[in-house]
Structure 1
């Protein structure tokens, strides 16, 4: 490849994933963030001796393939790069607009991903499950599928898709599009089809209002073939700007995954697959065998109880689960300390009024935040804290002769660990 040195500006989730992907694909990388207090634990730093240049509030890490500046940015180092990867949140700002006009963005330097038939799946909840459903259907139909996108969904990030597309002969690119990166993705990819799972109450620290979120979707949908649920709010707005609008419905055939929300996810996957002329028997057979994605809601039997475990990190996600089952106990993983908007899941749990609410560290070890909220809401049930996975398992055992319990909230990694332990126990008991 001709372009072999890239700058990564901003080291949030997507920025760090971009660094990892570029290094994996043989690029040299200059990366920077104005914040010097960055968690580097999820960076795949080269396995060689690193030189730390400490400058007090700023510092650098230098190796043969990576230069990392924290607390400042070296404009000369950026100028020497062949391509630049910005944090998606920077898109629309003056710096990103300058790069766009100069054609320096990685999404312009690499172009193969825009030549491949592309499907974007966006929305508040259900994106990851829908993407995996559709991926399975397409692969079972003989398509070579490149899948990825939203780093928060567990994929390797948007830039990894661009880099992978340069090297592989793919029939379809399938992208999970976070609702906070709609404008960035609209520019960086050339979507042939876009599916919307739902519009829910999440990321309101960014959107501020549902109306603003809707307006972002209207921009994203303009000129595209789109799929939305038959009962989706704002469907008339979306239809007006689309090149083609198709409504989808709850899937009616056999599914292993739980919930009406997953029937809608399957309905979206089926509708897109049908539009692509995938045979009905392939769709039906694939969805009947589909199992829950790691970290998403799955069900296990422990003694007399059904234990539902999966990420439900916003009030709409939790409400959709609570509407379908009676739970004796609800376990809630904590959000990050600054994400006060996510505390509305506690409000939803209190409205449901289970016998027990257990709080555990999900994204941060800040149990006091949830305990204060429960006290403020005057929840009168039993409140317990679990500071470790062993604590959670002990409470599951204690409640295992009740009908059902739900373990959810925030913290995908923590919830995956819980799932794995619960699954092992369930398999042993069976």
Structure 2
């Protein structure tokens, strides 16, 4: 695409000099490492690095045009001045990659907990329906069966548009995508044409960024308020899928102009679960869809997973998929790595690895385990460094109240002192409480599994699918599942 044609998509701009020599654009990027000959480099003012300080480097590497919001010195290449380079980046990347989201069914999932599980269930449903699918989220980006690494739950807008373009090229028809609150505030999904938006729940998280729950709630609402304001006649209008048991779900009904499809367990909902029975091998419940009832047996454990299943069913239902095929996919779904992942052994000691890194997530995991545990419950838990300090004592109190043996350890300390994180967790905990502190996570896992008796369960919480631990800014390989298996083997369990 010619540069002149591409920058026409920026409605309000100043181009200096106006009579620059046109060229075919090879790349649009905000990362100097990606710059090649005839690139357009967009200077983004970030929290740590200001891209305006890197434009000379970009030009040296071959950038033929700069997009900026601050005055720059003469560079020998044209500069397009705009009010907001983040918005310009969203517009230019969408145009450069030919608005790929418009060519696929886009399903965005937001909420504090459940995003990863819901997107994986949705992907499985559409796969079972015979479609080629795409998935974007916390664990990875996946196109069909091929997996690509990811840095954030929701990628930056250029990486996102590039990924969606690749999905279109490879014949993907439906995409399930996690949409984080931070991405929504930062405009990382501007230009993405979502067809269905799913809300899971709202509990405390990311307050290190949002500062208040009101700000956090507003961030989540953006996915629904931006969902579209028209009612198409061909039956493919936008749909908001809302958890009506969460107070935020009620509020979102007012924030969106889209069609609303509700789900829940406690309150009256269009799609509802009742008669829920939880056991160690799965969950049984009655699924009611607009009054029509059918009994389901699923392999996923816990009440919160019933909500995840309802959310995914509702998204597929909103897309017009056959109910029987949806249910068939649900009954076959085995779960997601690091989400209440059971590691059993002949000794009778079991370990469960779960990505419960919020107070609500930890409470859900422990309540679920207590529903079917026949012995004692151990809880290994830490809190991430450089993140919300306020949730640390809450996590500790939940571990103390809902487990028999709470063990506090390191999660990802990042740049913080691990002991300082533990000290925050211990605030408000009675000194006489039977809390074991082991800063070394591997030692904590080995200790709990060695101490556990037959029928006991060891919950290893907080990191889930992650295969690393960040200590003093360094990323080291560490996998809770691997460590649990080694510890079980060491005590003669395998």
Q: TM-score range by the shorter chain?
A: 0.7 to 0.9
Match of 2:423 in 1: 372
1:393 & 1:32 partners in 2: Cα distance?
A: 48
Cα offset, 1:410, TM superposition: 4.6
3-state SS in 1 of match to 2:203 = coil
In structure 2, the partner of 1:106 is 93
**1:326-365 mapped onto 2 (5 Å cutoff):** 326=370, 328-343=377-392, 344-352=394-402, 354-364=404-414
TM-score (norm 1): 0.75
The separation in 1 between residues aligned to 2:164 and 2:454, in whole angstroms, is: 51
Label 1:26 to 1:342 Cα distance change in 2 as closer, same or farther (>3 A).
Answer: farther
Q: 1:423 to 1:290 in 2, by over 3 A?
A: farther
Q: Aligned pair 1:256/2:263, yes or no?
A: no
Q: Does the CA contact (< 8 Å) of 2:241 and 2:261 recur in 1?
A: yes
Pick from 101, 113, 116 the counterpart of residue 128 of structure 1. Answer: 116
1:425 deviates by 6.9
Q: 1:30: how far off? A: 7.0
Aligned counterpart for 1:312 among listed residues 356, 362, 385: 356
Q: Are the equivalent residues in 2 in contact too, given 1:7–1:83 (CA < 8 A)? A: no
- Pick which of 194-203 and 370-379 moved more: 370-379
SS at match of 1:369: helix
Deviation string, structure 1 residues 327-377 (Cα, Å, up to 9, x no partner): 532101331145423413223223436333241343437431243135432
What's the CA shift for 1:313?
A: 0.9
Counterpart of 2:10 in structure 1 is none
Task: From the superposition, tell whether residues 405 and 191 of structure 1 become closer, same or farther in structure 2 (CA, over 3 Å).
Answer: same
Distance 1:277 1:124, change over 3 A: same
User: Is the CA contact (8 Å cut-off) linking 2:449 and 2:487 kept in structure 1?
Assistant: no
Residue 217 and residue 362 in structure 1: after superposition, are their counterparts in 2 closer, same or farther (change >3 A)? closer
CA deviations 1:121-141 (Å, max 9, x no partner) are: 111111011101000110111
Q: Which of 392, 413, 420 is the matching residue for 2:445? A: 392
1:162 Cα deviation (Å)? 1.7
Distance 1:176 1:393, change over 3 A: same
In structure 2, what is the equivalent of residue 220 of structure 1?
223
Q: 1:76 to 1:324 in 2, by over 3 A?
A: same
- The change in CA–CA distance for 1:71 and 1:193 in structure 2 (over 3 A counts) is closer
For residues 323 and 190 of structure 1, what CA distance do their matches in structure 2 show? 38
CA gap of 1:292–1:377, structure 2 versus 1, over 3 A, is same
Distance in 2 (alpha carbons) for counterparts of 1:249 and 1:308 = 26
Structure 2 residue aligned with 1:206, among 188, 209, 219? 209
The match for 1:163 is 162
Task: Specify the alignment match of 2:467 in structure 1.
Answer: 413
Residue matched to 1:173: 175
RMSD after superposition: 3.8
Return the offset for 1:191.
0.7
Using a 3 Å threshold, how does the CA distance of structure 1 residues 177 and 263 change in structure 2: closer, same or farther? same
Residue 325 (structure 1) aligned with residue 369 (structure 2): yes
Q: Which runs of 5+ in 1 are unaligned?
A: 11-18, 39-68, 87-93
Q: Could you tell me which residue of structure 2 aligns to residue 271 of structure 1?
A: 314
- Equivalent-residue separation in structure 2 for 1:294 and 1:81 (angstroms): 44
Task: After superposition, give the CA deviation of every residue in 1:241-296 in whole Å (9 maximum; x if it has no partner).
Answer: 33211102355322212211111111111111122222223222222222232232
1:175 Cα offset (Å): 1.5
1:199-258 CA-to-partner distances (Å, cap 9, x unmatched) read: 111011222332222323333212352001131213343112332111023553222122
Cα–Cα, structure 1 residues 312 and 390, in superposed 2: closer, same or farther, change >3 Å?
A: same
Deviation of the 1:6 alpha carbon? 3.5
The Cα of 1:157 is off from its aligned counterpart by 6.0
Q: Tell me the equivalent position of 1:245.
A: 260
1:3/1:396 CA distance change after superposition, 3 Å: farther
2:324 paired with 1:281: yes
State the Cα distance separating 1:198 from its structure 2 match: 0.8
Higher deviation after alignment, 188-197 or 144-153: 144-153
Are 2:192 and 1:142 equivalent residues in the alignment? no
Q: Deviations over 1:362-409 (max 9, x none)?
A: 343743124313543234113130515355234312214352221112
Deviations 1:108-166 (A, max 9, x none): 43233231221101111110111010001101111121221455666766544421332
Count of residues paired in the alignment: 381
Partner of 1:74: 54
Structure 1 or 2: larger helix share? 1
Q: Which has the higher contact order (CA 8 A, sep 6+)?
A: 1
Q: 1:386 to 1:402 in 2, by over 3 A?
A: farther
